């Protein structure tokens, strides 16, 4: 609380869309709370959700009206000497926005500086999750253990339907690969000694490991990081043996169960369809040779082929989401707090949603590319009864996306609430997606900015602009030019995930909406198959909010090791000090809220005639804008598709 310049401010206006309320503002250690004067519902805003806080030019009311509010009773008279209103605009990681209006520059400045002090967190342990206690107590207290590695892979058939795989604890102390899980499944014919050598040839020691064994035919999905041939075109015999064992696991399985070897090729795993899936664009993969990376030389990996998916890197995806944020911001309701505009008042008019700008973001194209990759893997495993080994560069972003999307299509279990939780825990959390880095949970100082047109406080308080013309353009251009001056943020300042430095505990250049993109893809699949998921759209949008709200510890760290091991000697781990998001998402209280009333599990019965056996063959080019996350106005862009 020592960081706060002020903890309570009276006579504050809150505008969300066209709705305006008057009340008091309360600043706590982790939340901004707006309490309306009419005793209606409070607004609680976690600081962790703030993506951009902007001090805007003051407003001078020449005439006043009642606000466009459901309550419709607040008066917007100002008690300051000049009569000005001093706005702060808040943009959130959930792609919506709000504005606060104060009757003095001093109050606005105190709140601005207080928000910056508490929202930019220098130490990970200061995040809200380390202080949060569910009230009432959780109905699901063992949610941290929802994913049991051995139970999940036994469910898939490891050790029962297939003897071709074994569990390995070679990484029990996280020494082979600090970003990999302590336990994982590998080909049974490969020894731990071979794995030790193979790990030297994969980035970050992330060797090929099983993530999915298909229930219908024992086809598999394995995942890893890029190989490290470098400019010298180095090779690893041990890595080649691991890959060969993966792609011949059908044969091994049938040999173990006594099936005639002569029948294997006719039924399982045609070698021409075994796939090495490099998620990157071809040029990007080739470019990594200069940095010691690279991709598989197919002269050394027999009985398979390679496919490049062309999925762009985290920086391209960050730019894509920035463009969406820019387009949505430009179409925001003008911040006027319900004030009438005088004849010489220059203020931004509400702009239509720029559909062309949204298209230029290429977001839908990126989603289609991901879905196309997932569809390829799904067909290869289910229809071709073969195997797919996936990687990108380090194997924790695009690899997680592709694996977890294909598994949603292949296994009906992952389309249930509990199964989806297990899938996220397995392919995202245990395999080391860098949630802390990608989400930027610590906040960044550069996301607290002053807009063009914000004058020095002395100028504004002295009323040097008696007729309300704030920074009006001197040249021609009319209202459009004035609006541009008022909203004159640079792209760098308006970026939700922009590039550059910061003073939180993260690196802003490492942020990217990777998991947001995954949830969007799942929503696309759910839209195509509305009766095949136990959960509804709200489940996905709620999970997206929890990703950034930092109420739970699930998405805080970068890998299993950081989550499970104590942060200090004699201390507790993240898991020991925080609650799991699945306590909330899977609680009986929320089950009715998240349940898909159209869900028909009988459609997934493989014995049912004239069905798809529970495997979803998706249309990768059938993509739409997700209004559950981007807001209802995005439907204007859907109408134009």
Helix or strand (DSSP H, E) at 32: strand 31-36
**Beta carbons within 10 angstroms of residue 19's beta carbon:** 16
Q: What gap in Å lies between CA 640 and CA 356, rounded to an integer?
A: 10
- C-alpha 395: how far from chain center: 16
- C-alpha 218: how far from chain center: 31
Q: What is the pLDDT of residues 88-122, one digit of tens each?
A: 999 999 999 999 999 999 999 999 999 999 999 98
The full set of domains in the chain, from first to last, is 1-60+83-119 (2.30.29.30)
Report the range of poorest mean pLDDT among 63-72, 112-121, 504-513, 535-544.
63-72
**Tokens at 599, concatenated:** 């869900």
550 is catalytic: no
Q: What is the DSSP letter of 436?
A: H
DSSP for 379-398, written as a single string: HHHHTS--EEEEE-SSSSSH
Write down the pLDDT at residue 503. 60
In the predicted structure, residue 487 carries a pLDDT above the cut 70? no
Write down the pLDDT at residue 120. 95
Write down the pLDDT at residue 82. 59
Write down the pLDDT at residue 473. 33
How confident is the model over 500-520, as a mean pLDDT? 84
Report the range of poorest mean pLDDT among 122-131, 360-369, 422-431, 462-471.
462-471
Write down the pLDDT at residue 74. 52
Residue 404 pLDDT level (bands cut at 50, 70, 90):
very high
Q: What gap in Å lies between CA 437 and CA 352, rounded to an integer?
A: 34
**Tokens at 573, concatenated:** 């781990």
Report the range of poorest mean pLDDT among 264-273, 464-473, 503-512, 558-567.
464-473
Q: What is the pLDDT of residues 132-186, one digit of tens each?
A: 999 888 888 789 999 999 999 999 999 998 899 999 999 999 999 999 999 999 9
Write down the pLDDT at residue 60. 79
How confident is the model over 300-320, as a mean pLDDT? 97
Q: What is the DSSP letter of 303?
A: S
- C-alpha 23: how far from chain center: 33
DSSP for 520-563, written as a single string: HHHHHHHHHSTTS-SB-HHHHHHHHHHHHH--SSTTTSSSHHHH
How confident is the model over 59-77, as a mean pLDDT? 53
CB distance 56 to 454 below 8 Å: yes
Residue 365: what are its φ and ψ, rounded to 5°? -65, -40
Write down the pLDDT at residue 23. 97
Mean pLDDT of the chain: 87
Residue 306 pLDDT level (bands cut at 50, 70, 90):
very high
Q: What gap in Å lies between CA 446 and CA 53, rounded to an integer?
A: 9
Question: How far lies 249's CA from each of 17, 256, 268, 595, in Å?
Answer: 57, 10, 10, 38
**Tokens at 228, concatenated:** 């490290």
Q: What gap in Å lies between CA 374 and CA 387, rounded to an integer?
A: 13
**Tokens at 253, concatenated:** 């399985």
Q: What gap in Å lies between CA 160 and CA 164, rounded to an integer?
A: 10
3-state class (DSSP) for residue 130 = helix
Listed in sequence order, the residues at least 6 apart from 315 whose beta carbon sits closer than 8 Å to its beta carbon are: 499, 509, 512
**Tokens at 402, concatenated:** 């592709």
Write down the pLDDT at residue 247. 96
Q: What is the pLDDT of residues 225-271, one digit of tens each?
A: 999 999 999 999 999 999 999 999 986 555 554 433 333 333 344 45
> Residue ranges for the binding site for substrate?
313-314, 392-398
Q: What gap in Å lies between CA 35 and CA 28, rounded to an integer?
A: 13
Catalytic entry in 392, 439, 521, 550:
392
Write down the pLDDT at residue 504. 66
């Amino acid at each position: 609380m020592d960081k706060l310049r002020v903890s309570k401010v009276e006579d504050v206006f809150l505008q969300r869309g066209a709705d305006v309320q008057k009340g008091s503002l309360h600043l706590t250690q982790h939340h901004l709370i707006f309490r309306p004067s009419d005793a209606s519902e409070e607004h609680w805003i976690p600081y962790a959700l703030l993506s951009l806080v902007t001090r805007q030019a003051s407003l001078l009311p020449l005439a006043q009206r009642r606000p466009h509010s459901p309550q419709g009773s607040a008066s917007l008279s100002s008690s300051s000497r000049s009569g000005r209103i001093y706005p702060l605009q808040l943009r959130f990681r959930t792609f919506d926005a709000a504005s606060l209006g104060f009757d003095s520059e001093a109050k606005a400045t105190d709140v601005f500086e207080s928000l910056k002090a508490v929202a930019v967190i220098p130490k990970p342990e200061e995040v809200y999750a380390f202080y949060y206690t569910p009230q009432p107590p959780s109905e699901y207290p063992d949610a941290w253990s929802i994913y049991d590695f051995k139970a999940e892979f036994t469910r898939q058939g490891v050790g029962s339907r297939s003897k071709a795989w074994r569990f390995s604890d070679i990484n029990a102390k996280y020494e082979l690969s600090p970003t990999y899980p302590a336990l994982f499944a590998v080909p049974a014919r490969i020894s731990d000694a071979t794995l030790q050598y193979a790990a030297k040839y994969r980035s970050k020691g992330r060797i090929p490991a099983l993530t999915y064994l298909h229930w219908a035919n024992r086809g598999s999905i394995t995942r890893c990081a890029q190989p490290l041939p470098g400019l010298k075109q180095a090779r690893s015999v041990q890595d080649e043996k691991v890959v060969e064992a993966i792609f011949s696991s059908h044969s091994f399985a049938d040999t173990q169960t006594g099936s005639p070897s002569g029948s294997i090729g006719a039924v399982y795993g045609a070698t021409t369809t075994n796939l090495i899936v490099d998620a990157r664009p071809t040029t990007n993969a080739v470019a990594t040779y200069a940095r010691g990376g690279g991709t598989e030389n197919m002269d050394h990996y027999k009985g398979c082929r390679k496919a490049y998916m062309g999925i762009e890197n985290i920086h391209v995806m960050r730019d894509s989401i920035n463009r969406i944020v820019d387009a949505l911001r430009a179409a925001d309701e003008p911040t006027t707090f319900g004030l009438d505009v005088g004849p010489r008042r220059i203020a931004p008019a509400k702009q239509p949603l720029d559909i062309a700008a949204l298209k230029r973001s290429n977001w839908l194209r990126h989603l289609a590319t991901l879905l196309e990759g997932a569809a390829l893997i799904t067909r290869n495993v289910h229809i071709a009864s073969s195997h797919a080994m996936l990687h990108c560069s380090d194997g924790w972003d695009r690899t997680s996306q592709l694996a977890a999307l294909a598994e949603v299509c292949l296994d009906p279990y992952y389309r249930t609430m509990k199964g989806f939780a297990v899938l996220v825990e397995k392919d995202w959390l245990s395999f080391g997606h860098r949630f802390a880095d990608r989400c930027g949970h610590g906040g960044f100082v550069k996301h607290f900015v002053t807009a063009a047109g914000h004058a020095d406080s002395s100028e504004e308080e002295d009323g040097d602009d008696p007729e309300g013309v704030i920074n009006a353009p001197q040249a021609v251009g009319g209202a459009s030019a004035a609006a541009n001056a008022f909203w004159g943020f640079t792209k760098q300042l308006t970026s939700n995930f922009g590039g550059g430095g910061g003073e939180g505990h993260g690196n802003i250049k490492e942020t990217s909406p990777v998991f947001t993109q995954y949830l969007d893809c799942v929503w696309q699949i759910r839209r195509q198959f509305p009766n095949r998921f136990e959960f509804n759209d709200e489940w996905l949008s709620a999970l997206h909010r929890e990703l950034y709200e930092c109420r739970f510890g699930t998405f805080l760290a970068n890998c299993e090791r950081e989550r499970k091991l104590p942060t200090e000697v004699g201390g507790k781990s993240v898991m020991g000090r925080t609650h799991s998001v699945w306590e909330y998402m899977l609680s009986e209280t929320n089950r009715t809220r998240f349940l898909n009333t159209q869900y028909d599990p009988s459609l997934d019965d493989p014995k049912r005639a004239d069905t798809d056996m529970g495997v979803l063959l998706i249309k990768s080019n059938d993509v739409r804008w997700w209004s559950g996350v981007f807001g209802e106005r995005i439907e204007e862009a859907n109408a134009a598709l």
